[in-house]
Amino acid sequence: MPRSPFDNPVVLEDMSSLASRVKGWDALDGTTVLVTGAAGMLASYIVFFLAYLKTVHGVDIRMTALVRNRAKAGRRFGPLIDQVGFMVLEQDVCAQLPAQLDVEYAVHAASLASPQWYGRMPVETMLPNVTGTAHLLEHVRLRCDNLRSFLFVSSGSVYGEVTQAECCTEDTYGRLNFLALGNAYGLSKQMGEALCHAYWHEYGVPAICARVFHTYGPTMDWERDSRVFSEFVGNVVRNQDIVMRSEGSACRSFAYITDTVSQLLTVMLRGVPGESYNVGNDTNFTSVAELADMLVGLYPGKGIHVVRETRTDAGYSAATARKSPMSLSKVRRLGCEPLVSVEDGFKRTIDAIEWEVCL
């Protein structure tokens, strides 16, 4: 029998934390919420939280979870999908929605979010953020008379290349080569934001954009995601040494999933339509090398090490880019503050994954 996500003690603690951090969730009582890409890393935590409010706090929320694969959704949500008011809609986000679907809140999170797909599947990377966003906006404009908020889950990738000294505010604009396949994700997120902005100004659709920066957590695809922090988590879960093939000087600001999701929901509930907000953690600015050493240090009993090798692949150049930190001043004005340290967040992530693996 599929397990409930709340059987995982880390996930259950995270839901309780979100309930105390997200202000104004009582506004969701008596509403229907659409979540696209619902089985994905971030969106699934939003669905978990909505189900938690319904189960633990008695909030009357009806959910429509749009997914591409119902079987995957069944594994992700377990018995939650059998709750009254939980509907799984299996379809491509680029297809037209059922005409009768009427919602008060919409969260558009369907997207290929890992760089491993951008160069290999640029079309599939771009379409959910462009065509999918257009279809969703048109649907809520025509079919949802009581729409309160349309949240587009965008990305820090929209900033493109910025100077190392620059802190990305929502008004920062960097260079983004539109012919480079690796930029398919960032470019399509830019277009998705532009559509949201246009639908707000022309039709009054209350669309808001949240630019998510590097986020990790128990629902991350640690087995297949090629991003370095996912690979490192997989190494620790498998009791493998972490092999460094570069100096590891590239820096990122890592956000644990409750920090990101609390900000996403706050933006949806309290943000200003037509605006964009940076979302993440600007206090956990960590290099790849520091992350590797930290992860090994969290589990001394595993006996694993960081192994540093010199990479000699032809055409390879070590990553030295220092991604500029984002400014969270705008989302802070809504009452949000990232709280989870990088050490605590990755420990929670690995403990939650190991709980699942060991069952």
Nearest to 216 by CA among 120, 125, 119, 341: 341
Distance between CA 307 and CA 232 in Å, rounded?
12
pLDDT band at 113 (very low <50, low <70, confident <90, very high): confident
Nearest to 150 by CA among 334, 21, 274: 274
Kindly provide the b/e burial profile for residues 62-82, where b requires at least 16 CB atoms within 10 angstroms of the residue's own CB. bbbbbbbeeeebbebbbbbbe
Tens of pLDDT along 171-185? 988 888 888 888 999
274 vs 117 pLDDT, higher one: 274
Decide if 19 contacts 53 (C-beta within 8 A). Answer: yes
CATH of 5-220+254-285+324-352, one of 1.10.620.20, 3.40.50.720, 3.30.420.40, 3.30.1330.40: 3.40.50.720
Tens of pLDDT along 12-69? 999 999 999 999 999 999 999 999 999 999 999 999 999 999 999 999 999 999 999 9
Distance between CA 153 and CA 44 in Å, rounded?
13
Asked if pLDDT for residue 317 goes beyond 50, the answer is no
Tens of pLDDT along 192-232? 999 999 999 999 999 999 999 999 999 999 998 888 999 99
Question: Region 118-134: what's the mean pLDDT?
Answer: 94
Asked if pLDDT for residue 322 goes beyond 70, the answer is no
The angle subtended at Cα 278 by Cα 21 and Cα 325, nearest 5°, is 110
- Tell me the sheet residues that pair with 306: 242
Domain boundaries along the sequence of the chain: 5-220+254-285+324-352
- Alpha-carbon distances of 211 from 43, 125, 193, 254, rounded to whole Å: 14, 17, 10, 14
Distance between CA 132 and CA 151 in Å, rounded?
13
